[in-house]
Structure 1
Amino acid sequence: MNENTYVRAKDVAKEMDISEGMAYKIIRKLNEELREQGYVTVRGRLSRRYFEKRIYGTDNNEIE
């Protein structure tokens, strides 16, 4: 895995132009969705692919 596999609150905040506090709330919500689907999550980090899918409605590969 490379260093870009996960996003952190700073990354989410910068990407969405929101506060870090709001970014943590988004990470918690999306991680809960992943846990409900049976995935293992890491507190304070979120899969970059899942983030892009949920925020932009598409996988990064589909954008290109």
Structure 2
Amino acid sequence: MKDFLTAKDIQKILKVKQAKSYEIIRELNREMQKQGYKVIRGRVNKAIFEKAYFYNEEVKTG
């Protein structure tokens, strides 16, 4: 199982163009760097990507 996703992976998952997938990677990696993490250019951590782009099935009510 892959821990990191490439632009091609994101293209397939979100059905976006290559330029958009690289934009997503840059955005998520910037956020990770602000939190003090090291990043790999052109790749994004799969767990971070999933957290940002997929809703959690558990819905909290107030």
Q: TM-score, normalised by structure 1?
A: 0.83
Bigger helix share: 1
Q: Identity, % of aligned pairs?
A: 36
The structure number with the bigger radius of gyration is: 2
Which residue, 27, 30, 33 being the options, matches 1:29?
Answer: 27
Supply the distance in 2 between the matched residues of 1:37 and 1:44 (Cα, whole angstroms): 18
Q: Mean alpha-carbon deviation: is it higher for 23-32 or for 49-58?
A: 49-58
Structure 2: segments with no counterpart, 5+ residues: none
Report the CA distance between 1:57 and its aligned residue.
3.5
Give unpaired runs (5+ residues) of structure 1: none
Q: How many residues align?
A: 58
Secondary structure of the residue aligned to 2:49 is: helix
Higher RCO structure (Cα 8 Å, ≥6 apart): 2
User: What TM-score comes out, normalization by structure 2 length?
Assistant: 0.86
Two-structure CA RMSD over aligned residues (Å): 1.6
Deviation, 1:21, is 0.8
